[in-house]
Amino acid sequence: MPQQDLANDPTEAVADRLHSVAIHLLRQLREEDLTLGLGPAQLSALSVLVFGGPQSIGALARIEQVAAPTISRLVDALVAAGLAARAADAKDRRVVHVSATAAGVSLMQRGRQQRVRRLVRLLEDLDSAELETVGTAAERLARLLRQPRARNE
C-alpha cells in the first residue's frame, strides 16, 4: 500500500507508527548495552540462552536466523568470555548444546535492569492514565506475539 494510503487504513497507520516507535525505542535501549562489552549479535544469542534456556547449535542458529558457522563463531566468543558453555548431547555426540554460565546470566540480568531503568526514565513523564494506557497496550501486544503465526500471509 502506498504511503499516502495509510490515512485510509487505520490498522496500517497504527502499524506504521508502531514500527517507527519500536525502532527508535530499541535504538535508545541498545545504548545501555554498550556498557556490557559485547556486540549486538553476541548479546542476542546470550539472551536466547539466558531467557530461553540451553539450545543446540542448530536450534540457536535457527532462532538467531544465521548460518551454523556464524553461530559457531558467536558461541566460541561467548565460551571464551566465560559467558556460555558447550556440552555434547548424551545420546548423540554429534549434537552440541550451549547454555549460559552463571556469569552469562548475571551479565544479561544486569543488561535487562539497565534497559528497564532507561524505560522507567522515559515513562516517568506520563500521568497515571497514560501509563495505564501504555501498560494495557504492552499487554495486548504481548498477547498478540504469543499467538500462533498462522496469520502470516
pTM of the entire predicted model: 0.78
Number of domains making up the chain? 1
In total, the chain counts a number of residues equal to 153
Domain coverage including residue 79: 13-148
Looking up residue 140, the CATH number of its domain turns out to be 1.10.10.10
* 53 backbone φψ class: left, alpha, beta (φ>0; ψ -120 to 50): left
pLDDT in tens, 83-118: 999 998 888 888 889 999 999 999 999 999 999 999
pLDDT in tens, 7-48: 578 989 999 999 999 999 999 988 888 889 999 999 999 999
Structural Rg of the chain based on CA atoms: 19
Quick check: is 55 in a domain?
yes
